[in-house]
Amino acid sequence: MALPKGLAAFPITPCDRHGRVDAVALRRLVARLRSAGVDAVGLLGSTGTFMYLTREQRRTALEVAVDEIAGAAPLMVGVGALRTDDAVELARDATSIGASCGLLAPVSYTPLTEDEAFEHYSTVAREGGLPLCIYDNPGTTHFRFSPELIARLSQVPGIVGVKSPSGLSGETVAHLGDLRARVPAGFSLGYSGDWNVLAPMIAGADVWHSVLGGLLPGICLRIVRAAQNHDEAEARRLDTALGPVWELFRTYSSLRVVYAMAEILGIARAAPPRPILPLSDTARSHVADVIGRLPSELVV
SS3 assignment, position 135: strand
d(CA 215, CA 251): 19
d(CA 234, CA 173): 19
Active site residue 5: no
Q: 5, 52, 109, 163: which is the annotated catalytic residue?
A: 163
d(CA 164, CA 190): 6
- Helix, strand, coil distribution of the chain in percent, nearest 5: 50, 15, 35
| Selection from 70, 46, 43 nearest residue 58 by Cα | 43
Peptide bond preceding 275 in cis form (omega within 30 of 0):
yes
Q: Cβ distance 10 to 209 under 8 Å?
A: yes
Active site residue 52: no
Q: 5, 52, 121, 135: which is the annotated catalytic residue?
A: 135
d(CA 48, CA 58): 10
47 marked as binding residue? yes
d(CA 12, CA 49): 7
**Annotated binding residues for pyruvate:** 47
Active site residues: 135, 163
**Annotated binding residues:** 47
